Chains A and B, each alone.
Chain A
Amino acid sequence: MRRQDNSYTIVFALVVCALCSLSLAIVTESFKARREINEGFEIKRNILKAVHLKEPLPARAPQETIIKIYEEKISGVVIDREGNILPGRIPGEEGKGKEGLPLYIYQEGNDVAAYCFPVEGKGLWSTLYGYLAIEPDGMTIRGITFYKHKETPGLGGEIEREWFQEKFRGKRFWDTASRRQVQVLLIKGKVSEKMPEEQRPFYVDGISGATMTSNGVSSLINNGLQTYEPFLKKIRSY
C-alpha cells in the first residue's frame, strides 16, 4: 500500500482512532474512583452551602473539616411520593430498583433549621444540577446552589456564583392568602424596579444575556417544589 492510496488513508485513520480511544478509556476508567470521591464530596459541600449554616463554612476549608461538619449537622432520609419518610433508607440508592426521593435535614441543636433536596433541569447547553434548601416553615427558600452545569462562563455560568445564588434567599413559593403554591420566577431586569411591592417575594432577578439559563432555573425550582409538595404540606402550619 502506498501512502497516497485511499485504503492506506482509511486504515491509518482507523488505527489512530482505535489507539486514541483505547488510551482514553484506560485513563478514564482508572480515574473513576477518584472522580466519584470528588463528586460525593462536592455534593456534601453544596448541601452545606444551600442550607446556609449558622456559622458559615470557613473559606478554603479542607475536605475533612467539611465532611465532619456535614456529618454533625445533616442527616439524609428518603421519602415517598406522598411525603412519608421511608424508614431505614439513606439517600444515594435511588434508581437502583428502589423508589424514593432523597431529603436532607439540617439540624441546629434539636431544631430543624432547613430541609434540602436535589433539583435538576435543562439550561441552555446542558442539564443543571443543584440543591435547593427550604426554611422549616415550608414556604420560603433558604438557599440554592449549582454544582454541575456546562453553561457559558460569564453568562449562564454565573448561576454558580454567590451573587446570583444569594438572590434566592427569603423568596416565597406559597401564597398565604390563597393557600396555594405559586411559582418562583426569574424575570428580565430588576425585580425592585419592575414588580409591585407585594409581588416581589415571588420573583428573582434573572441574568442578563442568559435568558434560557434563567428560564431553566425557574422551571427546575418549580418542578422540584412540586415534587416535594406532599412533604412540604406536612411541615407547613397555617
Chain B
Amino acid sequence: MPGIFSRKEKKIVRDALWENNPITFQVLGICSALAVTVKLETAIAMSGALIFVLALSNMVISALRNFIPSKIRFIVQLCVISTLVILADQFLQAYLYDISKQLSIFVGLIITNCIVMGRAEGFAMRNPPWRSFIDGLGNALGYGGVLVLVAGVREVLGNGSLLGVKLIPESFYNHGYADCGMMFLAPGAFFLLGAIIWIQRAISGYKESP
C-alpha cells in the first residue's frame, strides 16, 4: 500500500527512533535531558518545542541548501534555528505560561542543542525538504521519547505523582514509604539515562567499534 511515507522515509524515522537515536546512540542533547525531566509536564513541553524547531529548521535549511554560500553556512543554519527557537519560546510564554517559567532558559538553549545543528549539517544540507522534515521529526521524537520516559520514572519515584496527579496513596507514606530524593536531583536522571542506553544497546545489539 503506497502511503505518504516511502520505504526510505520509514527507514529514516525508524533509524532516528531506535538504531540511531540521538540520545541513546549518539548521546547528544544530554544537558537538557537532565535539566527538564524532573516532571513529565515540562518534559512534554520541551519535547514539543524541540519537535517544532527540529522539523522546521531541517525543512527550511534543506529548501535553502542549494543557495546557501558554503562560507557562511553555519551562520545561516544558526540564524534559522534561533529564529524558530525564539518563536517556540514566545509561544510558550503566551499560552503555557507556567510551564515556560519552569523551563526557564532551557527552551532558549535548544539553539545550542547538538541534535539540531547536527541534523542541519549532517542531513538537511544533503537531502530534499520533505525527507529532511521527516528526519527532523524522527530525531526530535527519538529525543522526546527518551525525555518522556526519564521524566515519567523520575516523577513517579521522586514525587509519587504523574502529571501532577498523586499516584502513591497517603497510607503508603504513613507506613514509612518515602519518595526517592535522588530522583528529584540531576544524578537521578544520569543513572536512568545510563540504564536506558544500556538496555537499548543490549536489545539492538550495538557494539562499540574498537
Chain A residues in contact with chain B, CB under 8 A?
A: 3-4, 8-9, 12-13, 16-17, 20, 23-24, 27-28, 31, 34-35, 38, 41-42, 60, 150, 153, 157
* Chain B residues within 8 Å of A41, by CB: 97
**Which B residues, 56 to 98, have Cβ-Cβ distances below 8 Å to chain A?**
67-72, 75-76, 79-80, 82-83, 86-87, 90-91, 93-95, 97
Q: Is the CB of A35 within 8 A of B80?
A: no
Of all chain A residues, which has the CB nearest B66?
A3
* Chain B residues within 8 Å of A20, by CB: 79-80, 82-83
Q: Is the CB of A16 within 8 A of B79?
A: yes
> For the complex, would chain B's binding face be called helix, strand, loop or mixed by DSSP majority?
helix
Q: Is the CB of A42 within 8 A of B97?
A: yes
Chain B residues in contact with chain A, CB under 8 A?
A: 35, 67-72, 75-76, 79-80, 82-83, 86-87, 90-91, 93-95, 97, 104-106, 164
Q: Which of A13, A23, A41, A150 has the most CB of B within 10 A?
A: A13
Q: Inter-chain contact count A-B, CB under 8 Å?
A: 54
Q: Is the CB of A35 within 8 A of B72?
A: no
* Chain B residues within 8 Å of A13, by CB: 72, 75-76
The smallest beta-carbon distance between A126 and chain B, in angstroms, is: 11
Q: Is the CB of B71 within 8 A of A34?
A: no
Q: Is the CB of A23 within 8 A of B83?
A: yes
Q: Is the CB of B94 within 8 A of A4?
A: no
The distance in angstroms between the C-alpha atoms of A13 and B91, with both chains bound, is 26
The smallest beta-carbon distance between A177 and chain B, in angstroms, is: 43
Q: Is the CB of B90 within 8 A of A31?
A: yes
Q: Is the CB of B72 within 8 A of A31?
A: no
* Chain A residues within 8 Å of B90, by CB: 27-28, 31, 35
The smallest beta-carbon distance between A48 and chain B, in angstroms, is: 15
Of all chain B residues, which has the CB nearest A36?
B94
* Chain B residues within 8 Å of A17, by CB: 79
Q: Is the CB of B93 within 8 A of A23?
A: no
Known contacts A9-B71, A12-B68, A16-B76; A38 and B87 CB within 8 A of each other: no
Q: Is the CB of B91 within 8 A of A31?
A: yes
The smallest beta-carbon distance between A147 and chain B, in angstroms, is: 9
* Chain B residues within 8 Å of A150, by CB: 105
* Chain B residues within 8 Å of A8, by CB: 69
